Protein backbone atom coordinates (compact mmCIF):
# COMPACT_ATOMS: atom_id res chain seq x y z
CA UNK A 1 0.00 0.00 0.00
CA UNK A 2 2.86 2.39 0.82
CA UNK A 3 4.42 1.76 -2.60
CA UNK A 4 1.14 2.50 -4.36
CA UNK A 5 0.75 5.74 -2.44
CA UNK A 6 4.33 6.73 -3.28
CA UNK A 7 3.75 6.02 -6.99
CA UNK A 8 0.53 8.07 -6.98
CA UNK A 9 2.35 10.99 -5.35
CA UNK A 10 5.25 10.88 -7.84
CA UNK A 11 3.18 10.66 -11.05
CA UNK A 12 2.32 14.40 -11.11
CA UNK A 13 6.00 15.28 -10.67
CA UNK A 14 6.93 13.23 -13.72
CA UNK A 15 4.06 14.51 -15.84
CA UNK A 16 4.34 18.19 -14.96
CA UNK A 17 6.67 20.70 -16.52
CA UNK A 18 10.10 20.82 -14.96
CA UNK A 19 11.90 23.92 -16.28
CA UNK A 20 13.54 25.52 -19.24
CA UNK A 21 17.10 24.29 -19.76
CA UNK A 22 18.08 27.97 -20.11
CA UNK A 23 16.30 29.34 -17.03
CA UNK A 24 19.56 29.52 -15.05
CA UNK A 25 20.70 32.20 -17.54
CA UNK A 26 17.54 34.40 -17.41
CA UNK A 27 17.90 38.01 -16.27
CA UNK A 28 15.95 38.25 -13.00
CA UNK A 29 16.83 41.78 -11.85
CA UNK A 30 15.30 44.72 -13.69
CA UNK A 31 18.06 46.08 -15.96
CA UNK A 32 18.69 49.75 -16.63
CA UNK A 33 18.11 51.00 -20.18
CA UNK A 34 21.83 51.73 -20.57
CA UNK A 35 22.55 48.04 -19.84
CA UNK A 36 20.25 46.70 -22.57
CA UNK A 37 21.11 49.13 -25.37
CA UNK A 38 23.34 47.65 -28.05
CA UNK A 39 23.54 45.17 -30.89
CA UNK A 40 22.78 41.50 -30.35
CA UNK A 41 24.08 38.99 -32.88
CA UNK A 42 22.75 35.50 -33.62
CA UNK A 43 24.47 32.69 -31.69
CA UNK A 44 22.37 29.54 -32.24
CA UNK A 45 18.88 28.08 -32.58
CA UNK A 46 17.40 24.72 -31.55
CA UNK A 47 13.98 25.20 -33.16
CA UNK A 48 14.40 23.70 -36.65
CA UNK A 49 17.17 21.18 -37.37
CA UNK A 50 16.75 21.83 -41.10
CA UNK A 51 17.87 25.45 -40.74
CA UNK A 52 21.65 25.34 -40.67
CA UNK A 53 23.07 27.64 -37.98
CA UNK A 54 26.31 27.92 -39.95
CA UNK A 55 24.37 29.50 -42.84
CA UNK A 56 22.91 32.00 -40.38
CA UNK A 57 26.36 32.82 -39.02
CA UNK A 58 27.63 33.66 -42.53
CA UNK A 59 25.23 36.63 -42.61
CA UNK A 60 24.16 36.84 -38.98
CA UNK A 61 20.75 38.06 -37.93
CA UNK A 62 20.98 41.08 -35.62
CA UNK A 63 18.82 43.01 -33.19
CA UNK A 64 19.76 46.63 -32.44
CA UNK A 65 18.20 48.02 -29.25
CA UNK A 66 18.37 51.82 -29.13
CA UNK A 67 18.12 54.08 -26.06
CA UNK A 68 15.22 56.08 -27.54
CA UNK A 69 12.88 53.06 -27.20
CA UNK A 70 13.21 51.82 -30.77
CA UNK A 71 14.73 48.70 -32.30
CA UNK A 72 15.85 47.37 -35.68
CA UNK A 73 15.99 43.70 -36.60
CA UNK A 74 17.88 42.44 -39.61
CA UNK A 75 17.61 38.98 -41.22
CA UNK A 76 15.72 37.53 -38.24
CA UNK A 77 14.37 33.99 -38.80
CA UNK A 78 10.67 33.48 -38.18
CA UNK A 79 9.53 30.01 -37.14
CA UNK A 80 5.88 29.05 -37.58
CA UNK A 81 4.05 26.36 -35.67
CA UNK A 82 3.82 23.20 -37.77
CA UNK A 83 1.78 20.66 -35.84
CA UNK A 84 1.22 20.28 -32.11
CA UNK A 85 4.66 21.12 -30.74
CA UNK A 86 6.83 21.57 -33.81
CA UNK A 87 8.08 24.80 -35.38
CA UNK A 88 9.62 25.19 -38.84
CA UNK A 89 11.57 27.99 -40.48
CA UNK A 90 9.16 30.19 -42.45
CA UNK A 91 11.03 33.32 -43.58
CA UNK A 92 13.50 36.02 -42.62
CA UNK A 93 12.32 39.50 -41.63
CA UNK A 94 13.71 43.02 -41.42
CA UNK A 95 11.70 45.29 -39.10
CA UNK A 96 11.89 48.34 -36.90
CA UNK A 97 9.58 49.58 -34.19
CA UNK A 98 9.29 50.38 -30.51
CA UNK A 99 10.24 48.28 -27.51
CA UNK A 100 9.11 48.25 -23.88
CA UNK A 101 10.90 46.71 -20.89
CA UNK A 102 8.64 44.26 -19.06
CA UNK A 103 8.56 41.01 -17.11
CA UNK A 104 7.92 38.12 -19.47
CA UNK A 105 7.30 35.42 -16.91
CA UNK A 106 8.70 33.98 -13.73
CA UNK A 107 11.04 31.27 -12.55
CA UNK A 108 10.16 29.12 -9.54
CA UNK A 109 13.07 27.33 -7.91
CA UNK A 110 10.70 24.73 -6.45
CA UNK A 111 11.06 26.03 -2.90
CA UNK A 112 8.58 28.88 -3.14
CA UNK A 113 10.97 31.56 -4.37
CA UNK A 114 9.78 33.16 -7.59
CA UNK A 115 11.98 35.45 -9.68
CA UNK A 116 10.80 37.60 -12.57
CA UNK A 117 12.22 37.08 -16.05
CA UNK A 118 12.88 40.46 -17.69
CA UNK A 119 12.85 41.18 -21.37
CA UNK A 120 11.46 43.29 -24.17
CA UNK A 121 8.07 43.40 -25.83
CA UNK A 122 8.61 44.36 -29.47
CA UNK A 123 5.85 45.93 -31.56
CA UNK A 124 5.41 45.53 -35.32
CA UNK A 125 6.99 42.05 -35.47
CA UNK A 126 5.49 38.61 -36.11
CA UNK A 127 3.87 37.17 -32.96
CA UNK A 128 6.67 34.58 -32.60
CA UNK A 129 9.21 37.41 -32.12
CA UNK A 130 7.15 39.70 -29.88
CA UNK A 131 8.73 38.60 -26.57
CA UNK A 132 12.52 38.81 -26.33
CA UNK A 133 13.79 37.59 -22.96
CA UNK A 134 17.08 38.77 -21.52
CA UNK A 135 19.97 36.49 -20.62
CA UNK A 136 22.63 37.28 -18.05
CA UNK A 137 22.36 37.00 -14.28
CA UNK A 138 24.62 39.92 -13.33
CA UNK A 139 24.52 41.89 -16.58
CA UNK A 140 22.41 41.54 -19.73
CA UNK A 141 24.54 39.69 -22.27
CA UNK A 142 21.97 38.13 -24.58
CA UNK A 143 18.43 37.75 -25.84
CA UNK A 144 16.39 34.54 -25.99
CA UNK A 145 13.26 33.76 -28.01
CA UNK A 146 11.38 30.66 -26.81
CA UNK A 147 9.09 28.47 -28.90
CA UNK A 148 6.35 26.31 -27.42
CA UNK A 149 6.76 24.61 -24.05
CA UNK A 150 9.92 25.98 -22.36
CA UNK A 151 10.82 22.44 -21.23
CA UNK A 152 11.57 21.48 -24.85
CA UNK A 153 14.46 23.93 -25.08
CA UNK A 154 13.34 25.25 -28.47
CA UNK A 155 15.07 28.63 -28.55
CA UNK A 156 16.89 31.16 -30.66
CA UNK A 157 19.71 32.95 -28.80
CA UNK A 158 21.55 36.20 -29.55
CA UNK A 159 24.67 37.46 -27.79
CA UNK A 160 25.40 41.09 -27.08
CA UNK A 161 28.34 42.39 -29.14
Residue 97 lies in a domain: yes
Q: What is the pLDDT of residue 81?
A: 87
What CA–CA distance (Å, rounded) separates 49 from 22? 19
Residue 53 lies in a domain: yes
User: What value does the mean pLDDT take over residues 10-21?
Assistant: 46
Residue 11 lies in a domain: no
Q: Which domain holds residue 79?
A: 24-160
Taking alpha carbons only, the member of 142, 102, 141, 100 closest to residue 122 is: 100
User: What value does the mean pLDDT take over residues 105-124?
Assistant: 86
How many domains in the chain?
A: 1
User: What value does the mean pLDDT take over residues 88-98?
Assistant: 94
Write out pLDDT tens, residues 126-144.
Answer: 999 999 999 998 899 999 9
Contact (Cβ atoms closer than 8 angstroms) between residue 135 and residue 25: yes
Phi then psi dihedrals of residue 2, to 5 deg: -60, -40
Write out pLDDT tens, residues 28-55.
Answer: 999 999 999 999 999 999 999 888 777 7
Share of the chain above pLDDT 70, in %: 86
Measured on CA atoms in the order 65, 71, 73, 77, is the torsion positive or negative? positive
pLDDT band of residue 19 (cuts 50, 70, 90) is low
Amino acid sequence: MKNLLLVLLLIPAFLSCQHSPFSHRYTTEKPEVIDIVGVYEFDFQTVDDNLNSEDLKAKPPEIAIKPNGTFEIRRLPVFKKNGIAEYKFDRTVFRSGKWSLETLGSIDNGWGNVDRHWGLVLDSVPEELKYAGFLGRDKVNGIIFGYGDPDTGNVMIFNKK
